[in-house]
């Protein structure tokens, strides 16, 4: 038995999908009983040189795929919102299964498209939209059957991870690392989509919809990228045995969710510190299994194509695990997944009591200093708080001890309480 497939786009992802389906078609038939055959491929330019032999398959008219009743599955690999949204909507509405690698599309219109798929009795799969080759959405489907997952987070953008790896391990500047990433094809000529955190944000929304069964507006999540990271901060962070990663995270609470996309410090003992270059990692925390960390290639022709083909096999096997509840709209509240933070203060120049003032303030607020440095009127530290970070920063600003220049969350292991007494003794001496 054969099943006809229409492929929208033949760029990096589309080429990877084509290679895998044509080279593994026989194996797929042995596993599923169905042989997948790509009938038509939508492209912008018919005469563009291709890495694969596609004679007779190319078209510039999407209707040749969307109106073809023989084509039962459409794979969308063109990216962006328009015309991808219109094509996917039409395909679903006409009773075709759809597989997409488009994270922006699924983040902004996923609920609408899922409803269209459900209404028409077809599948909408998007494994390749998050984590590249990591089969994270499949794993979440399985884990949700037996466990309550209350946290999802990770390194989900390979471009920024490559840049930060080069900056922290090779000592390169942001500009040098970015230029190298562009030369290697990891970053676009305009890198804002990656370095400002938009790509990670879209993937986080997809993950939270899958994990928590919630929908959150794109603009409701705090987002900061890596383009504003100061060399000074990276030097302190590296010296103290941490790595800086762009971290996307969501935490379920009773009446909403906490969420964010931001640079976060990770201890060198943490597995995430060893996820370098374009690799991705996703953390899940649940009530029964504790914590899982999934690591794999975050981008590329074949890794992403592999995730698309995994969705294809699920459809051919008629496999589907339904969500227990329909996704509901929940507010994103301001909060944190940690009580440990990195801060850098620019102190008032020439005030010899600066250090005493800051240490006394920290003691009054019961803030434990884990690492610290004071030089050239700059105070940097990793601190563990007992109060809310926003309240702490507000009090710090009110005291006008110094100007807050940087603040990052820390994915911190358990702290030895003996350190608290050592800190108190230090303040007493000063």
Q: Angle, nearest 10°, between helix axes 389-399 and 354-364?
A: 140
244 in a known ligand binding site = no
12 in a known ligand binding site = yes
59 in a known ligand binding site = no
Specify whether the CB–CB gap between 42 and 73 falls below 8 A.
no
User: How many residues appear in the chain?
Assistant: 430
Evaluate the omega torsion of the peptide bond into residue 83 and state whether it is cis, within 30 degrees of 0: yes
Rounded distance between C-alpha atoms, residue 6 and residue 18, angstroms: 11
Query: 336, 301, 108: which is closest to 201 by C-alpha?
Result: 108
Query: 303, 314, 276: which is closest to 132 by C-alpha?
Result: 303
Please identify which residue in the block is written with the tokens 């969710």.
Answer: 257
Specify whether the CB–CB gap between 87 and 8 falls below 8 A.
yes
Query: The tokens of 414 are what?
Result: 């358990």
Query: 107, 135, 87, 95: which is closest to 311 by C-alpha?
Result: 135
Element (H, E) at 149: strand 149-155
Angle at alpha carbon of residue 36, lines to 32 and 38, rounded to 5°: 165
Query: 294, 303, 296, 278: which is closest to 161 by C-alpha?
Result: 278
User: Which residue is catalytic, options 144, 203, 297, 409?
Assistant: 203
Angle at alpha carbon of residue 91, lines to 89 and 96, rounded to 5°: 130
Residue 203 among the catalytic residues: yes
Element (H, E) at 262: strand 256-267
For residue 52, what is the DSSP state? S
159 in a known ligand binding site = no
146 in a known ligand binding site = no
267 in a known ligand binding site = no
11 in a known ligand binding site = yes
9 in a known ligand binding site = yes
Query: 275, 176, 174, 276: which is closest to 233 by C-alpha?
Result: 174
Residue set of the binding site for NADP(+): 8-15
Q: Which active-site residues does the annotation give?
A: 203
Residue set of the binding site for NADPH: 103
């Amino acid at each position: 038995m054969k099943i006809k497939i229409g492929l929208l786009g033949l760029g990096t992802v589309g080429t990877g999908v084509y290679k895998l389906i044509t080279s593994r078609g026989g194996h797929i038939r042995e596993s599923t009983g169905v042989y997948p055959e790509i009938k038509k491929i939508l492209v912008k330019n018919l005469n563009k040189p291709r890495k694969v032999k596609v004679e007779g398959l190319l078209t510039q008219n999407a209707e040749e795929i969307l109106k073809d009743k023989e084509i039962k599955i459409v794979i969308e690999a063109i990216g962006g919102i328009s015309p991808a949204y219109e094509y996917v909507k039409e395909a679903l509405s006409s009773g075709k299964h759809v597989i997409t690698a488009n994270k922006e599309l699924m983040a902004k219109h996923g609920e609408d498209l899922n409803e269209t798929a459900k209404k028409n009795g077809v599948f909408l799969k998007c494994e390749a939209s998050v984590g590249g080759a990591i089969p994270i959405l499949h794993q979440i489907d399985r884990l949700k059957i037996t466990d309550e997952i209350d946290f999802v987070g990770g390194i989900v953008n390979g471009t920024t991870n490559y840049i930060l790896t080069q900056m922290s391990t090779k000592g390169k500047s942001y500009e040098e690392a970015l230029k190298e990433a562009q030369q290697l094809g990891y970053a676009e000529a305009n890198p804002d989509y990656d370095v400002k955190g938009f790509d990670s944000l879209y993937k986080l929304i997809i993950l939270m919809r899958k994990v928590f069964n919630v929908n959150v507006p794109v603009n409701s999540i705090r987002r900061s990228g890596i383009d504003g990271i100061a060399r000074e901060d990276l030097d302190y962070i590296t010296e103290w045995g941490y790595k800086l990663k762009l971290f996307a995270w969501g935490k379920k609470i009773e009446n909403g969710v906490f969420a964010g996309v931001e640079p976060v410090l990770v201890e060198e003992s943490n597995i995430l510190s060893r996820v370098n270059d374009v690799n991705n990692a996703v953390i899940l925390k649940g009530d029964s299994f504790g914590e899982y960390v999934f690591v794999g290639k975050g981008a590329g022709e074949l890794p992403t194509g592999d995730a698309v083909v995994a969705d294809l096999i699920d459809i051919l096997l008629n496999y589907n695990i339904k969500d227990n509840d329909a996704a509901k709209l929940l507010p994103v509240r301001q909060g944190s997944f940690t009580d440990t933070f990195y801060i850098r203060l620019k102190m008032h120049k020439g005030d010899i009591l600066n250090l005493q003032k800051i240490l006394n303030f920290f003691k009054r607020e019961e803030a434990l200093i884990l690492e610290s440095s004071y030089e050239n009127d700059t105070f940097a530290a990793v601190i563990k708080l007992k109060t809310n970070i926003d309240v702490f920063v507000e009090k710090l600003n009110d005291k006008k001890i110094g100007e807050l220049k940087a603040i990052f969350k820390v994915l911190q292991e358990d702290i030895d309480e003996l350190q608290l007494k050592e800190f108190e003794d230090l303040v007493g001496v000063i």
